[in-house]
């Protein structure tokens, strides 16, 4: 049976039509629940069978490495990394429920199935790079341009994969 790895959005939005007994999440997800309603939804889900599991360190390491490659690492919170690690561990039989763009991007690269909670799913995988706001040269990383000293800004580099784009 398919399980669902629940991002904080599942409890914040409260409109995902998945049975609570099929949900798995990580303990730190609670840190991202700011509203009373979302905390109530989380508690109710736990009563109805939501599993709260610690992520495995080896999985977290793999997620972190992948996020470095796609330049998503600075967008990911501790909870995001843990959610991704949990989804990676259950990759064979689980779907990750998330609306977070960076989380979706890394998940797709790790071969994790993703289902959006409220937003549309992204179609393409993006690689980020840094561009100088002064001389417009692009770099892999860094905060300051080594040529002219201006600040570097994050910029999309390329799409790795796109689903059947029809050009007519």
User: Which residues here bind Zn ion, judged by CB under 5 A?
Assistant: 132, 134-135, 145, 147-148, 150
Query: Cα–Cα distance between 67 and 45 in angstroms, integer?
Result: 29
Q: 99 burial class (0-12, 13-18, 19+ CB within 10 angstroms)?
A: buried
Which residue, 76 or 132, has its beta carbon nearer to Zn ion? 132
* 3 vs 150, beta carbon nearer Zn ion: 150
Q: Among residues 135 and 160, whose Cβ is nearest to Zn ion? A: 135
How near is the Cβ of 154 to Zn ion at its closest, in Å? 15
Instruction: For the CB of residue 147, give the shortest distance to Zn ion in the complex, in Å.
Output: 5
CB of 155 to Zn ion, least distance (A): 13
> Least CB distance from residue 86 to Zn ion, whole Å?
40
> DSSP E strands: which ranges in 11-151?
23-25, 51-52, 94-97, 113-115, 126-132, 138-139
Residue with tokens 């959006």: 116
Tokens at residue 136, please?
């417009």
78 versus 141: smaller Cβ distance to Zn ion = 141
């Amino acid at each position: 049976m398919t399980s669902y790895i629940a991002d904080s959005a599942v409890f914040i939005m409260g409109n995902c039509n998945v049975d609570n007994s099929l949900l798995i999440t990580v303990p730190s997800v609670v840190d991202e629940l700011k509203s009373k309603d979302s905390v109530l939804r989380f508690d109710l889900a736990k009563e109805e069978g939501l599993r709260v599991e610690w992520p495995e360190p080896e999985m977290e390491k793999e997620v972190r490495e992948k996020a470095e490659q796609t330049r998503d690492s600075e967008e990911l919170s501790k909870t995001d990394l843990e959610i991704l690690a949990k989804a990676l561990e259950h990759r064979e039989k689980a779907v990750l429920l998330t609306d977070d763009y960076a989380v979706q991007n890394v998940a797709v690269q790790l071969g994790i199935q993703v289902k959006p909670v409220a937003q549309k799913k992204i179609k393409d995988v993006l690689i980020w790079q840094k561009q100088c706001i002064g001389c417009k040269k692009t770099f892999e990383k860094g905060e300051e341009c080594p040529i002219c000293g201006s600040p570097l800004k994050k910029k999309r580099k390329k799409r790795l994969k796109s689903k059947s784009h029809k050009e007519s």
